[in-house]
Amino acid sequence: MTDVTETRAAPTMVRASGARPRRLIALVDCSAFYCSCERVFDPSLGGVPVAVLSNNDGCIIARSQEVKDLGVPMGAPFFKHKAELADAGVRVFSSNYT
């Protein structure tokens, strides 16, 4: 097991005034992130139920609110919900990392 207790400090920047710049750290939690990405690239998906599948299309990894309201759980095997999603008019996409 690797010892992860050793850390390295980031290089320190100093302003001309001698003061260090203020550091900001942001944490963004996006609900249904992959569904939101699909909607950005295809605006016609607005208001349409969307589900995104994992690598090899095995599991549902992102669900729009409409799909969540159908009761489809996160990480559910796609084959178990395929007919239900089709009946509800859900647009299903493979995950796209490019």
> Which residues 6+ apart lie within 8 Å of 38 measured at CB?
45, 50, 52, 91, 93
Judged against a pLDDT cut of 70, whether residue 9 lies above it is answered with: no
Question: What is the tens place of the pLDDT at every residue in 24-59?
Answer: 888 877 888 999 999 999 999 999 999 999 988 999
pTM of the entire structure? Answer: 0.69
Enumerate domains of the chain plus CATH numbers.
33-94 (3.40.1170.60)
* % of residues, the chain, pLDDT over 70: 82
The residue-averaged pLDDT of 55-77 equals 94
User: How far is the C-alpha of 62 from the C-alpha of 93, rounded, in Å?
Assistant: 10
Residue 4 has a pLDDT of 47
In degrees and rounded to multiples of 5, residue 53 shows phi and psi of -100, 160
User: pLDDT category, 1, cuts 50, 70, 90?
Assistant: very low
* Helix segments in 1-98, DSSP class H: 33-41, 65-69, 78-87
